[in-house]
């Protein structure tokens, strides 16, 4: 139990292996409960989840661990990750726990944590929990055990929160939207928010069965959404990921818009409304086209490491409020404490309404540079990333590209993959370099 358990975004892995087991999650929740109990009062902890079959198992053991440590628990059921962050703050709870593996397949799962302000846990709290996991697990006596209850109106509270994030005169009457909810955590709340704001909503992937979350649907597989938008003659489409903290959109022509496009649209709208606070934070994966488009708007732009935690840190350091990454995590810290796909989608719709334009038109100011991302399935991605052969190959291609492009090779923080990104002015050259580096990575044999 001496190892470090928290990764860049909580704890995640294959169900039944390593940390995603009943035994470990029982110990983890007991440790969290004990850390928060040390504050001198009985802590109140919320538990929410997405729609994976393993959520039932993990929810019950987490509940038992918290109660055994003397913490009270409120169960929220299937609900988006940002809803748990919001409700933790709104209900004055001490912590919020999310059972989800985001965009991963059903056989993965994970645990994310929010503090009482709806922010992801800081390093200091994580370190205290890590230390407590290694201590002998001792159950409180009967008089000191916590209690568990269920908050049945949690989805409704979150729907109202989302609706209140837009101006009072905002209406979606006359707008037709196709929503792909990835058979995930937004399957109830997503359609309600947009319908109650007046939109005609066509739903996709809103029948979770525990196994179909993210399966050929949602933000990582938007092809069917693109086709459906054309078939329905809809104004746009929105695809969420499994836990509802990221999105991609499809314009009226069926063209896909990723997080860079959406960040540009929101930035431009806020600049026009004079509500843009400072500049914008992207990541090392953000397209060069976004950087250039923001320069044309005279909007400061900085890059952070991949992951919303790093974007958040950069925003707090500069006292800015807007950031995001190409995968569709969009942070609007003036509206919510974490990435929220529904609220980000609404912000894009606000921009469209203000400008009186269709989605393709409000996004037209961004021309993306050719960029190719290849995910390579290798053993020990971190070790392969640092291998001399790959490092040498990267250096040679970087010298060849010069100032005409960028190369970024990194191990995924959420999946056992090596991510190879190449960006440049010439699409043929970009493809050639990316494919060569992918072949080099696959050829590496670790001793």
d(CA 350, CA 175): 12
Within 10 angstroms of residue 53's Cβ, the number of other Cβ atoms is 15
Cβ contact 331:308 at 8 Å: yes
- Is beta strand 95-99 parallel, antiparallel or unpaired with respect to 44-49? parallel
Joined together, the tokens standing for residue 352 give 């469209």
d(CA 47, CA 96): 6
Alpha-carbon dihedral 127, 129, 132, 138, rounded to 10 degrees: 170
Q: What angle do CA 368, 330, 49 make, to 5 degrees?
A: 135
Catalytic residue of the set 29, 54, 102, 205: 102
Beta bridge partners of 302: 281
Q: What angle do CA 278, 159, 357 make, to 5 degrees?
A: 55
If you ran DSSP here, which 8-state letter would residue 425 be given? Answer: S
Instruction: Count the residues in the chain.
Output: 447
Cβ contact 200:177 at 8 Å: yes
Q: If DSSP codes are grouped into helix, strand and coil, which group holds residue 213? A: coil
Q: Which helix (H) or strand (E) holds 120?
A: none
Cβ contact 4:18 at 8 Å: no
Contacts of 23 (CB under 8 A, 6+ apart): none
User: 386: alpha, beta or left, given left = phi > 0 and alpha = psi -120 to 50?
Assistant: alpha
102 is catalytic: yes
d(CA 440, CA 421): 14
Which residues are part of the catalytic machinery? 102
């Amino acid at each position: 139990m001496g190892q470090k358990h928290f990764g860049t975004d909580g704890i995640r892995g294959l169900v039944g292996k390593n940390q995603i087991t009943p035994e470990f999650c029982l110990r983890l929740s007991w440790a969290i409960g004990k850390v928060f109990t040390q504050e001198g009062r009985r802590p109140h902890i919320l538990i929410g989840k997405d729609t994976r079959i393993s959520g039932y198992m993990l929810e019950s053991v987490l509940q038992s661990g918290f109660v055994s440590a003397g913490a009270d628990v409120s169960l929220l059921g299937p609900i988006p990750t940002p809803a748990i962050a919001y409700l933790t703050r709104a209900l004055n709870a001490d912590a919020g726990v999310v059972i989800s593996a985001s965009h991963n397949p059903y056989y993965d799962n994970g645990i994310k944590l929010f503090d009482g302000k709806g922010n992801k846990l800081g390093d200091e709290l994580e370190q205290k929990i890590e230390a407590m996991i290694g201590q002998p697990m001792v159950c409180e006596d009967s008089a000191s055990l916590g209690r568990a209850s269920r908050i049945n109106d949690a989805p409704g509270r979150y729907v109202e929160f989302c609706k209140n994030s837009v101006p009072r005169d905002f209406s979606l009457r006359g707008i037709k939207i196709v929503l792909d909810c990835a058979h995930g955590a937004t399957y109830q709340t997503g359609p309600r928010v947009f319908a109650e704001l007046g939109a005609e909503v066509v739903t996709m992937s809103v029948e979770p069965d525990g196994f179909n979350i993210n399966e050929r649907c949602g933000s990582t597989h938007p092809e069917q959404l693109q086709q459906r938008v054309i078939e329905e003659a809809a104004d746009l489409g929105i695809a969420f990921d499994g836990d509802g903290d990221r999105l991609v959109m499809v314009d009226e022509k069926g063209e896909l818009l990723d997080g860079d496009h959406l960040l540009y649209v929101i930035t431009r709208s806020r600049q026009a409304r004079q509500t843009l606070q400072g500049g914008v934070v992207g990541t090392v994966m953000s397209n060069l086209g976004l950087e250039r488009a923001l320069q044309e708007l005279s909007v400061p732009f900085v890059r952070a490491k991949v992951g919303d935690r790093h974007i958040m840190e950069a925003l707090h350091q500069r006292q800015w409020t807007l950031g995001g990454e190409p995968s569709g995590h969009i942070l609007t810290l003036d509206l919510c404490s974490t990435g929220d796909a529904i609220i980000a989608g609404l912000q894009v719709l606000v921009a469209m309404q203000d400008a009186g334009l269709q989605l393709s038109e409000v996004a037209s100011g961004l021309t993306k540079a050719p960029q190719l991302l290849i995910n390579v399935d290798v053993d020990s991605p971190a070790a392969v990333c640092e291998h001399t052969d790959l490092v040498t190959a990267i250096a040679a291609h970087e010298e060849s590209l010069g100032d005409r492009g960028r190369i970024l090779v990194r191990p995924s923080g959420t999946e056992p993959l090596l991510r190879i990104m190449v960006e440049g002015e010439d699409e043929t050259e970009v493809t050639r370099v990316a494919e060569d580096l992918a072949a080099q990575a696959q050829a590496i044999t670790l001793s």
